Amino acid sequence: MDLWRIVLEALDSLASNKVRSALTVLGIVIGVGAVIAMLAIGTGAQNTITGSISGIGTNLLFVMRGGNDEVRNPQPLTLGDAEAMRDSFAAPSVIGVAPVLQGSAEITFAGEGDIVAAVGVTPEHESVRNIEITEGEFINEIHVLGRSAVVVLGPDVAETLFGRTESIVGESVRIEGQPFRVIGITVAKGGQGPSNEDNQILIPMSTAQTRLFRRSGSDQVDMILVQAINADGVITAEEEISAILRNRHRTAIGEDDFTTFSQQSFLQVAETITNVFTIFLGGVAGISLLVGGIGIMNIMLVSVTERTREIGLRKAVGARKRDIMLQFLAESALLSLFGGLIGIVLGWALSMLIGAISAASNADINPVVGIDAVLLATIFSAAVGLFFGLYPAKRAADLEPVEALRYE
Amino acid sequence: MSDWVIEAEGITKVYRMGDIEVHALRGVDVRIARGEIVSIMGPSGSGKTTLMNILGCLDRPTSGSYSLDGSQVAELGDDQLAEIRNKKVGFVFQSFNLLGRQTALTNVELPMRYAGVSNDRRKRAMEALEAVGLGDRVKHRPNELSGGQQQRVAIARALVNNPSMIMADEPTGNLDSKSGVEIVQILLDLNKNLGTTLIFVTHDPEIAAHTKRVISLLDGLITEDRIVET
Ligand SMILES: Nc1ncnc2c1ncn2[C@@H]1O[C@H](COP(=O)(O)OP(=O)(O)OP(=O)(O)O)[C@@H](O)[C@H]1O
Ligand SMILES: [Mg+2]
């Protein structure tokens, strides 16, 4: 028997009982749809997270105050610490150091106002954090030395205050009631939530320390960003700055009163989390595929019983076991394959829907239906059909022709 | 080589149903020559169908030796039996046994599909249907055909692979006497034109009257095997 004929006949047989075929296939449709949607969302979430971590800059280290729980009275990080890290002898792997001081502040212009994240920065912040300016300029050394009342606005802030993101440089805004001159607007990065960098303002470190956020020590900063020369240099840079800080803070060995994270470690943690999430959801979806497969087996067994006489007749005119086997396997595999294909479409539609919903709610997950997921689902669903069709097909093939013909 | 299509000796068939053994055939010897027309008669339950199934290689005897067209059936595997049913035997059943969703044409094509014929399948099926007088009904499905027409499709299916014999188990049992006669006539013509061996299983003396040889069965044994002079 030629394969094409087998497929046609299987299609015909499935079409003869459309409602039953449709209901049988539903389990596979839901299973595959779930797998596709889950994988798409998992990939999308991963891309968003890695994208936003990578967007922070390249080869970065984050240095924060405080060690493990046993370390008491950690010393604060200071501008002096940051200055020490710039020492190219003690820290040859470091090419950029950017201390920051963070807080929130009310910013107003002509009656419009908002409370936004305000960050005190040094000029090096621009290169370390990969910040780009659409108009105007970034904070420079003179601004810092002069404790100038100048501010660089994120595009969202500009939008809130001015209703536009252009020709704003030179305008005067009020921050916590004090007048500041706008000197630049940053390029939109498309972030969201509390860490949305488009909705923050940058001011000179010295200005922040003296006018906005008073810390106990005048020199104190909240975090120091360190940029290593390259990806391989991140670990050596970490060792170098740790040595510098231990020396400056005079801490005992094993009692660091500061903590460092590399950007890489954030990426790894994020990847692990999204992988676990994807595997878990994939597993749940896989179980529904399994249930779908059992549904197929069930209906194929019913079909074999119903068509006992037909099987007997086919054997009487010369069908071999393998002919009968193939006939029923073709039916179950096609059934399942159809389910798979419909499921792929459904899963794709579902992930688009979720993408649209998340975009509308400002949680930018862009689900990605990968070609590998589609292939996997197609192959897997056909395999499910073959596997669960095997037993019914074997039952059919093993029928004795005489018994089958006698069957009422 | 002898010209016996069928050479069966000491054929027995025992059905086991739990503790009970049913001896459907209890030692049947029969030889049928190529081109013969034979009726197997006997009361219900005498073993006619059982014998026909064994002779047609649908079933295996419990004991006894059987050779069909010179090959010992007991030595053949399932696939080889399937091939014999496909190429050497054509079955015609009382209840037609057509595939309900297929047209007359595809029903007739079925044995050729299992034979691996692919080239002139359609053409040969058409010829077979024309031979049984259904050239104008090829696209009809079984439920669009009368009983007699359905049985003619079944005959076309039985003869399409040019078998050396056709076995018909009460082929007219579900038909009125007029279409019954037509069916028998088609089969007799087949014998005349192609020399196909015909074996009828029947209750009907009318049919038996058309055959030169009548084998009578009773309780699994042949009681009479006579040649009818015409
Ligand atoms: N599968 C089976 N299991 C048990 N007994 C069977 C089976 N098939 C047939 N028999 C028994 O074997 C005997 C012969 O049956 P068979 O069908 O050959 O009779 P028959 O001569 O064809 O009868 P009829 O004219 O009614 O068709 C009967 O007694 C029947 O009950
Ligand atoms: Mg019978």
The CATH number of residue B50's host domain is 3.40.50.300
Q: Is A223 left (phi over 0), alpha (psi -120 to 50) or beta?
A: beta
Write down the ipTM of this complex. Answer: 0.95
Ligand closest to Cα of B169 equals 2
Separation between Cα atoms, residue A102 and residue A114, nearest integer Å: 16
On chain B, the residues whose CB falls within 8 A of the CB of A323 are 114
Q: Say which range, A16-30, A207-221, A366-380, has the weakest mean pLDDT.
A: A207-221
- Asked if A1 has any chain B CB less than 8 Å from its own CB, the reply is yes
At A255, the pLDDT band (50, 70, 90 cuts) reads confident
Express each pLDDT in A78-134 by its tens digit: 888 988 888 888 888 899 999 999 888 999 998 888 899 999 999 999 988 888 889
> What is the residue-level pLDDT of chain B in tens, covering all 230 positions?
458 899 999 999 999 988 999 999 999 999 999 999 999 999 999 999 999 999 999 999 999 999 998 889 989 999 999 999 999 999 999 999 999 989 999 999 999 999 988 889 999 999 999 999 999 999 999 999 999 999 999 999 999 999 999 999 999 989 998 999 999 999 999 999 999 999 999 988 888 888 889 999 999 999 999 887 66
* Cβ pair A402:B85 closer than 8 A: no
Choose the closest CB to A319 out of B59, B114, B161: B114
Q: For residues B103 and A257, which has the higher predicted lDDT (pLDDT)? A: B103
The pLDDT of residue B1 is: 46
**3-class secondary structure for chain A?**
CCHHHHHHHHHHHHHCCHHHHHHHHHHHHHHHHHHHHHHHHHHHHHHHHHHHHHCCCCCEEEEEECCCCCCCCCCCEEHHHHHHHCCCCCCCCEEEEEEEEEEEEEEEECCEEEEEEEEEECCCHHHHCCCCEEEECCCCHHHHHCCCCEEEECHHHHHHHHCCCCCCCCCEEEECCEEEEEEEEECCCCCCHHHCHHHEEEEEHHHHHHHHCCCCCCCEECEEEEEECCCCHHHHHHHHHHHHHHHHHCCCCCCCCEEEEEHHHHHHHHHHHHHHHHHHHHHHHHHHHHHHHHHHHHHHHHHHHHCHHHHHHHHHCCCCHHHHHHHHHHHHHHHHHHHHHHHHHHHHHHHHHHHHHHHHCCCCCCCCCCHHHHHHHHHHHHHHHHHHHHHHHHHHHCCCHHHHHHCC
The number of helices, as runs of H, and strands, as runs of E, in chain B is: 7, 10
Q: Say which range, A14-18, A171-175, A273-277, has the weakest mean pLDDT.
A: A273-277
B20 in contact with ligand 1, CB cutoff 6 A: no
The pLDDT of residue B52 is: 95
**Is residue A191 pLDDT above 70, yes or no?**
no
Give B165's strand partners.
B89, B197
- Count Cβ–Cβ pairs < 8 Å, chain A vs chain B: 61
Q: Considering the domain boundaries, does residue B8 fall inside one?
A: no
Choose the closest CB to B118 out of A2, A321, A400: A2
Q: Considering the domain boundaries, does residue B116 fall inside one?
A: yes
Segments forming the whole domain that contains residue B97 = 35-60+78-227
Q: For chain B, what is the domain count? A: 1
Choose the closest CB to A318 out of B53, B99, B111: B111
Query: What is the number of residues in chain A?
Result: 408
In ligand 1, the atom with minimum distance to the C-alpha of B42 is 21
Separation between Cα atoms, residue B137 and residue B145, nearest integer Å: 8
From residue A54, how far is each of A134, A154, A238, A265, B116 by CA, in Å? 21, 19, 18, 12, 62
Interface of A with B in 100-119 (CB under 8 A): none
Average pLDDT, chain A: 88
Buried b vs exposed e over A260-276: b needs ≥16 C-beta within 10 Å? bebbeebeeebeeebee
Which residues fall within 8 angstroms of residue A156, CB to CB, at 6 or more apart? A188, A196, A198, A199
Min CA distance, B97 vs chain A (Å)? 7
In ligand 1, the atom with minimum distance to the C-alpha of B52 is 18
B64 in contact with ligand 1, CB cutoff 6 A: no
* Cβ pair B110:A405 closer than 8 A: no
The pLDDT of residue A219 is: 83
The pLDDT of residue B73 is: 92
Separation between Cα atoms, residue A98 and residue A223, nearest integer Å: 8
At A355, the pLDDT band (50, 70, 90 cuts) reads confident
Q: Considering the domain boundaries, does residue B182 fall inside one?
A: yes
The pLDDT of residue A5 is: 82
The sheet that has B20-33: what strands, in order across it? B20-33, B4-17, B63-68, B71-72
Give A135's strand partners.
A185
**Mean pLDDT along residues A278-299:** 86
**Is residue A354 pLDDT above 60, yes or no?**
yes
Q: Considering the domain boundaries, does residue B163 fall inside one?
A: yes
Separation between Cα atoms, residue B6 and residue B32, nearest integer Å: 5
B22 in contact with ligand 1, CB cutoff 6 A: yes
* Cβ pair B58:A316 closer than 8 A: yes
B48 in contact with ligand 1, CB cutoff 6 A: yes
Q: Considering the domain boundaries, does residue B7 fall inside one?
A: no
Q: Say which range, A49-58, A80-89, A310-319, B12-21, has the weakest mean pLDDT.
A: A49-58
pTM (2 decimals)?
0.77
Buried b vs exposed e over A183-209: b needs ≥16 C-beta within 10 Å? bbbbebbebbeeebbbbbbbbbbbbbb
Q: Considering the domain boundaries, does residue B9 fall inside one?
A: no
On chain B, the residues whose CB falls within 8 A of the CB of A316 are 56, 58, 85, 91, 97
Q: Considering the domain boundaries, does residue B131 fall inside one?
A: yes
* Cβ pair B93:A405 closer than 8 A: yes
Ligand closest to Cα of A406 equals 1
Give A224's strand partners.
A63, A99
Q: Are B111 and A318 contacting, i.e. CB atoms less than 8 angstroms apart?
A: yes
Q: Are A258 and A77 contacting, i.e. CB atoms less than 8 angstroms apart?
A: yes
Q: Are B69 and B46 contacting, i.e. CB atoms less than 8 angstroms apart?
A: no
Protein residue whose Cα sits closest to atom 11 of ligand 1: B24
Interface of A with B in 296-325 (CB under 8 A): 309-310, 312-321, 323
Best to test chain B binding among A5, A317, A321, A326 (most B CBs inside 10 Å)? A317
